[in-house]
Amino acid sequence: MQVHPIRPIRTKADYQVALRQVSALVDADPKRGSPEGDRLEVLGALVQAYEAKHYPVELPDPIEAIRFRMEQQGLSAKDLQPMIGGLNRVYEVLNRKRPLSLAMVRRLNASLGISAECLIREVAVA
């Protein structure tokens, strides 16, 4: 692997070079704290910063995030009752007929680990 000096990633070409270096370092699996391990850590941080600026990931729709977490954890609508309220209210929320309240957001965040930032996003109410 050709070792390039570490420098800011300003262009797509810089980004591609950094990605190739990171990939080669990951394949080499350097020990943490070694010169190669430090290089991987620094290049990874630079790549992450570039990607955050140029390829931002938008937060998911709150209802889709809840549905995804339900699927991940094998939860039913009934399992959401402690966080949202009665079963009728759970279905109203999941069907976009009722918005999430602040109390619901707090309980969903605490119980399911869905970020509050995601849960407070605007939801199109049907």
Confidence of residue 57 (pLDDT cuts 50, 70, 90): confident
Cβ atoms of 62 and 123 within 8 Å: the answer is yes
C-alpha distances out from residue 49 to 12, 43, 46, 91, Å: 13, 10, 5, 39
The pLDDT, as a whole number, for residue 56 is 86
Q: Which domain CATH number covers 112?
A: 1.10.260
* Beta carbons within 8 Å of 97's beta carbon, 6+ residues apart: 91, 125, 126
* Beta carbons within 8 Å of 22's beta carbon, 6+ residues apart: 40, 43, 44, 47
125 located within any domain: no
In the structure encoding, which two tokens stand for residue 96, read together?
Answer: 């976009």
40 located within any domain: yes
Q: What is the mean pLDDT of residues 39-65?
A: 91
In the structure encoding, which two tokens stand for residue 44, read together?
Answer: 């990874």
pLDDT digits (tens, 9 = 90+) for 63-116: 999 999 999 999 999 999 999 999 999 999 999 999 999 999 999 999 999 999
pLDDT digits (tens, 9 = 90+) for 7-33: 999 999 999 999 999 999 999 999 999
Judgement on whether residues 96 and 74 belong to the same structural domain of the protein: yes
126 located within any domain: no
Judgement on whether residues 93 and 74 belong to the same structural domain of the protein: yes
30 located within any domain: yes
